[in-house]
Amino acid sequence: MIAIDTNLLVYAHREDSEFHGEALKVLLALAEGSRRWAIPWPCIHEFIAIVTHPSIYIPPTPLDVALQTLHVWMESAMCQVIGEGPGYFGRLRELGLKAKVKGPLIHDARIAAICLYNGVTELWTMDRDFSRFGILKTVNPILPKK
């Protein structure tokens, strides 16, 4: 199973994003495909915070539109929303200590730990910070394939 990071959700949603077309194609292929995929709960919360923030986007996305966008993605037959559960903290602890996480990087460690806890084998993201968690394969699906 793969998981989608916040940045791809934002780019797919915001038409004024530099990567909108490519990110939207990625999300549509997943939503209409037969491969299982997931969105971690922290990425859902971060998506809402970013697209509705008036200092990030002018105009910001209205909350009801952001929520409807998420609803459509989450209703995809192959989409699963993933989060923490019993035993999750062990994963977070392991990743955090191994990567020597500090400060805001705990957010990325949380997403990586949630992914691993839920059986995700690949995180699709444009954020290179996730590479510090070597146990979780990261892929930028927008980069041209070599």
Tell which residue, 50, 40, 44, 39, has the closest CA to residue 17: 50
Q: What percent of the chain has pLDDT over 90?
A: 92
> Which spans in the chain are helix H?
6-13, 20-32, 41-51, 63-74, 88-99, 105-117
Q: How confident is the model at residue 145 (pLDDT cuts 50, 70, 90)?
A: low
- Overall average pLDDT of the 94-117 stretch: 95
pLDDT of residue 116: 96
Domain at 2-139: CATH architecture: 3-Layer(aba) Sandwich (3.40)
pLDDT per residue over 75-88, tens digit each?
999 999 999 999 99
Q: How many CA atoms lie within 13 A of 10 on its CB side?
A: 21
Domains of the chain by residue range: 2-139
Query: H/E/C letters for each residue in 10-26?
Result: HHHHCCCCCCHHHHHHH
The pLDDT of residue 111 is above 80? yes
Instruction: Mention every residue, 6+ apart, whose C-beta is less than 8 A from residue 15.
Output: none
